Amino acid sequence: MKNFLRIFALVGCVLAGTIFADDFKSVTISGGIQLGPIRVHGDQFMVIRNFTQDTTQMARGVVMVTERPSGTPVNVLSAAILDMTPLEVINSVVIAGPADVTVTCDPSATCFISYKKDSN
């Protein structure tokens, strides 16, 4: 009985964490790899909560949005550098569809982005 209660408590804690987890996706980008294009349809929006970079290089990672069906890419967000003094503010952005979202990072840096797509 004592072991059952311990296992039950452990399972309860694990399930509680998965039940209340949000739909945010986290991606690490390194080596100059480009993420996307991520398609945001007309009835959706995309929320970017966190976009950071780990090195103090001059080139920052950027989030570019292209309006669909054809449009010019526009930079909407630059990566916050983690090792800066004073600390930089980590901004968030909401992108309404229809759009294509592309995330690029400096080849000598590692970037981290957290985002989710949701319906209206």
Residue-wise pLDDT for 9-66, tens only, equals: 555 454 454 455 568 899 998 877 888 899 999 899 999 999 999 887 678 889 999 9
Q: What is the pTM of this model?
A: 0.75
**Residues 104, 32: Cα–Cα separation, whole Å:** 7
- Does a structural domain hold residue 7? no
- Does a structural domain hold residue 2? no
Looking at the structure of the chain, the number of domains it has is 1
Per-residue pLDDT, averaged over 105-120, amounts to 88
- pLDDT(104) > 60: yes
First to last CA, the chain: 48
- Does a structural domain hold residue 95? yes
CATH of the domain at 65: 2.60.120.1010
- pLDDT(93) > 90: yes
Q: What's residue 56's pLDDT? A: 72
8: Cα separation from own chain's centroid: 34
**Residues 41, 55: Cα–Cα separation, whole Å:** 33
| Strand, coil or helix: 109 | coil
- Does a structural domain hold residue 34? yes
- Does a structural domain hold residue 10? no
| Strand, coil or helix: 90 | coil
- Domain span at 55: 24-119
Q: What's residue 102's pLDDT? A: 94
- Does a structural domain hold residue 75? yes
**Residues 76, 78: Cα–Cα separation, whole Å:** 7
- Does a structural domain hold residue 115? yes
- Does a structural domain hold residue 113? yes
